[in-house]
Amino acid sequence: MLYATDETGERIKPYPKERALCPWCKSDMTSVCGDINTWHWRHLTKQNCNYKGETEWHRAWKTLSEKYGCHVEKIIGNGEHIADVVVRDPRQCKGSIIELQHSSITAEEVIDRCEFYLKNRYKTTWLFDFTDKYESGHIEFTELDGTGNPMILNQKWQKRILLSLVSESFYPKFGRIYIDIGKEKIFMIRKVYENGNGWGYFRNKKYIFSKNL
């Protein structure tokens, strides 16, 4: 978590040897300020908190999103969820949410989260960390027409989640689905077919913060 709260409820960033409160469960948090990872907060003791911890991948994306004027770790509704990133969009009253997903998740959980945020008047775009899948050869990309963009996405295993998410009903009701393969650009999926393969575009990372709807 990049922000904890002080006794007055103010959001505070970590600095060395500091204590603060979890904005979700209100228990004590301690700052983790090392030389390698992004400075962050973690629970002082193991808590039964909805906040399940996060990876350096999450922190790097949150840090980048703040550079583009986004709000991170926003509590939505009555505290049922903390949105990773909220993109402010003047065309909508509230903007849209980007969920950063590193661990595996079912399509049902994704849709439930989207429906919850939609009830609170946010659309939701998802960014999946598929770096491991890409590096282990589970997914690969081939050129469609020699221009380098669009690209064909080939999935070798675990095809179901993308197939069920990138359906006719997901967009434009919710946001887009992107995948991060640990490269300079992220991949915006436009279509997935019955066989699990599909196509889309590689985009600069900042694209997700500005044009994700």
State the residues that interact with Zn ion by CB under 5 A: 22, 24-25, 49, 51
The nearer residue to Zn ion, 29 or 87, going by C-beta atoms, is 29
Angle at 95 between CA 29 and CA 118, to 5 degrees: 85
**Residue 49 Cβ vs Zn ion, minimum distance, rounded to whole Å:** 3
Residue 137 to residues 8, 132, 150, 153, 156: CA-CA distances in angstroms? 49, 8, 20, 12, 8
CA 124/CA 110 separation, integer angstroms? 10
Shortest Å distance, C-beta 27 to Zn ion:
5
45 DSSP 8-state letter: S
Least distance in angstroms from the C-beta of 4 to Zn ion: 9
C-beta of 59 vs 159, nearer to Zn ion: 59
Note whether 31 and 39 are within 8 A (CB). Answer: yes
Residue with tokens 């049902």: 108
Closer of 2 and 177 to Zn ion (Cβ): 2
C-beta of 51 vs 128, nearer to Zn ion: 51
User: Residues near 128 by Cβ (< 8 Å), separated by ≥ 6?
Assistant: 101, 177, 178, 179, 180
Q: How far is the CB of 134 from Zn ion (least distance, A)?
A: 32
Output 44 or 144, the one with its CB closest to Zn ion: 44
CB of 129 to Zn ion, least distance (A): 23
Q: Which two tokens stand for residue 36?
A: 């390698």
